[in-house]
Amino acid sequence: MREIEAAGFLFDMDGTLVDSTPVVEAVWSEFCERNGLDPVALLAYAHGRQAADTIAHFLPALGRAERDRLARDLVAQELTRTEGIVEIPGAGAVTRGLLADGAPVAVVTSAPRELAVVRLRAANIPVPEVLVAAEDVERGKPDPQGYLLAARRLGVPIADCVVFEDAEAGLLAAVASGARVVVVGGHASATTASLPRLADYTASLALAPKGT
C-alpha cells in the first residue's frame, strides 16, 4: 500500500480527475478549422491552460475583447457537450474518501467555474467546497496563483499540501507554488523527472489527512 499523507489535497481537473478528451479535442479541432490553425500544435499547447491564453498564443493579432469573446464561445459549446466525459479511474472513490474523512480538498482548474462543475458532475466526481477556477485568478497556469489561492482558502500552508497534476503548464504551476507534486498519467518532461507518478488512482493507494 502506497500512502500519501498531507495537510491538504489539491487536484487539477481535466486529465487529473476527469477525462474530457473527446469533447476538448472536438471543440478545439473545430476552432482550428475555422481559423486555419494546426490542431495538433494547438492541443499540445492548450492542455492545462485557460482558453483565452491559448487563443492569445495562436492568434496574437487579436485584441483582448475578441480573444475573450472567442473563449466564451468555446466554453458555451463545451457546456452542452458532456458525452464521453468519464472519471480518471479511481478518482471518484479517492476524492469521496478524502471528503468523508474531513480532509481539506480543492480543485484548481483552468476551466471556468460553470464548466468545471458540469464536467465534475458528468464524471461523478464530488465538487469540493473550494474550487479555484479561471475567473478566480488574474494569471492562469503555469503561474502558481491558483494553487496558492486554493491553499489559502483551505487554511493550509502550501508546503504542507500535495498537488496532483497531469499537464506541463499545471505541473510548472504546482512546482512553483512550493507544494509537493504528484504526476498523474504519462506526461514526461524535465519537470517530471524527479516527481513521483501515478498512472491513475486504482493502484494500492491511500491518501490520508496529516496526523491521522
**What is each CA distance from 108 to 9, 44, 58, 124, 181, in whole angstroms?**
10, 20, 24, 17, 13
Show the cell assigned to 62: 487579436
Which residues contact residue 133 at a Cβ distance below 8 angstroms, ignoring those fewer than 6 apart?
Answer: 109, 111, 112, 113, 116
Residue 194 to residue 188: CA distance in whole angstroms: 10
3-state secondary structure of 97: helix
Q: Give CA–CA dist 14/70, Å, rounded.
A: 20
Q: For residue 77, count other CB atoms closer than 10 A to its CB.
A: 14
Residues contacting residue 145 through CB under 8 Å, at least 6 positions apart: 137, 138, 139, 173
Can you say how many angstroms the Cα of residue 170 is from the centroid of all Cα atoms in its chain? 7
Burial bucket for residue 69 (CB in 10 Å: 0-12, 13-18, 19+): middle
By annotation, the residues acting in catalysis are 12, 14
Cα gap 93→91, rounded to integer Å: 6
